[in-house]
Structure 1
């Protein structure tokens, strides 16, 4: 992991997908796919939302912020794209929890709900975890999942993440401290 030139751009490919940071040229594709989302399918699905304030300028700042996070080893944010037509399918991110002797990070993932049930999440997350270990230098990746988020639990398990524990009152959301399931995968 050498960002001496102060930019971050890693590309990973699977049979059907490309996983890479967003670039400014992705704006129209990203916006179109965000606007195509179906209404929320469950509590943890953002669903359709008002994108009127997501201008080209906003997106440019968004991309610059992603770069800043990566260069400072805070987070690495990837777009997921379908190879056949370049459609933006969703996002995967890794947040650095601790480096030093730990090399410990957290993964987050989302696929636009109108692209669900095609195996894109599993395929993208599996490849992104390889990037986290081989390119970003993490040894341990955790997923912090709400106890009632069945689709996220299923995805974590499908890519070989193991259940470790329940962290009680771990995240403040929905106006209260909520429990999270911790799933993990190590590089060895």
Structure 2
């Protein structure tokens, strides 16, 4: 049951966070936080990113693309913002893997590394799962995690996701086919 809408706007809040689609007015905040990232802390942290191509026009097109992906139920991309001052902390996204008898999606997440170790990731992902089950109407959400990304699988476990299996040669990255740990959560758990 894909969502059929002209625009997509789900806003959800926790004690400290607002989770919502990016708006065109977020550009300066979004860019500033990407430019403020620390150097890479480990293999799965991009660290500093060259943002020179990310003009305001580019960002506005990105916001429009996110809306199109949500309206067509291909993907749902949410910014994570600190409520007290509106700071962009990171992103959470869902990709639709199958609908019909499955209602199955995949979650991705990151918090800018300058905001790590403050509990924002756990708070954001926990609320994002609420969005996935209650607003996007998924039944099953999976996280596909590199076998050596302990920060990510610890986060998945901390929000109640369960390890299911290791998929061998599952995704092409780092120059080859890599294994992924599969964590999942169902809406009825």
TM-score by length of 2: 0.97
* 2:123 aligned partner: 123
What do the CA deviations read for 1:9-47 (whole angstroms, capped 9, x no partner)?
Answer: 100000000000000000000000000000010111111
Which secondary structure does the structure 1 equivalent of 2:172 belong to?
strand
Note the 1:32-181 alignment, pairs <5 A. 32-181=32-181
- TM-superposed deviation, 1:4: 4.5
Matched residues, number = 188
Which secondary structure does the structure 2 equivalent of 1:86 belong to?
coil
* Misfit runs of 4+, over 6 Å: none
- TM-superposed deviation, 1:52: 1.2
- TM-superposed deviation, 1:175: 1.1
TM-score by length of 1: 0.98
Contact 2:34/2:48, CA 8 A, preserved across alignment? yes
Q: Distance in 2 between matches of 1:111 and 1:76?
A: 17
The two structures, once aligned, show a CA RMSD in angstroms of 1.1
Gaps of 5+ in 1: none
Contact 2:16/2:82, CA 8 A, preserved across alignment? yes
Which secondary structure does the structure 2 equivalent of 1:32 belong to?
helix
Contact 2:3/2:73, CA 8 A, preserved across alignment? no
